[in-house]
Amino acid sequence: MGGRAIGVLAVQGDVEEHVRALERSGARAITVKSSSDLEEVAGLVVPGGESTTVMLLLERFGLVEPIVERVRAGMPFWGTCMGMIVAAHDVAGFEQKTLDLLDITVRRNAFGRQIASAEVALAIPALGAKLFPAIFIRAPWIERAGPGVEVLASHDGHGVFVRQGNAIGTSFHPELTADRRVHEYFIEMVATAV
C-alpha cells in the first residue's frame, strides 16, 4: 500500500472497532473527519451508525463530493451496515440521500429491531470454506443488485455482502468479531488498487 493508511470515517458509529480490526490485520488505519484527512488515505471504511444522520454530517463537513470523486476514481470503499445504506443507489421505502456508489437497493432494519440482533454462521465462498461469524444489528438487506454487482454472501434469501468493482458493502459487522477475513479482503483490495 506504499505506506498509505486506510481511513475509517469518524463522524458516527463503530469507528474504533474498525481501526483496531484493520491494525490487527496488518494495515495502518487513521480516522477521517475532513477532506484533508481523506486525501491521506488509500481506502475508506464507513462504519455502522444512523444513515440519515451520517449523510447530514457528510454534507456539513463537505465530504460527499470528495468521497464520491475518490471512489469513482478507483479508491476502495467499504460500507458496513449503515455504511452500506449510505453507499446504496437507493433505500426501499425512504426518500433518502445516498452516495450512490453501489448499484443496490437496500431495506433499512430489514432483519428486525435491536432485540432481533443475532450472530449467524455465514457462508462466504470468497473468504474460504470456513463459515464467518456474521453479527447482524438492526441490519439492512439488499433487495436489488444491479448487473455489475457481485453478491458474495446471502442470508434468508437476501444479499448481505456485495462487491461492485472497488466498492464493497456488508449488512453485518465484521469489526465486532475476532475473525479478520473481511478486513483482510478489504486490505487486499486496497493493496492491489494502489
**What is the CATH number for 148?**
3.40.50.880
- pLDDT value at position 117? 67
Three-state secondary structure call for residue 101: coil
CA-CA distance, 83 to 22, in Å (whole number)? 16
- pLDDT value at position 154? 95
Residue with cell 454472501: 153
- pLDDT value at position 18? 95
Q: In the chain, what is the greatest distance between 2 CA atoms, to the nearest angstrom?
A: 43
- Residues 117-169 have pLDDT tens digits of 678 999 999 999 999 999 988 888 899 999 999 999 999 899 999 999 999 99
- Known catalytic residues are 81, 173, 175
Range of the domain at 24: 5-193
- pLDDT value at position 156? 87
Count of domains for the chain: 1
- pLDDT value at position 93? 84
Q: Which residues of the chain have pLDDT under 70?
A: 1-3, 109-117, 194
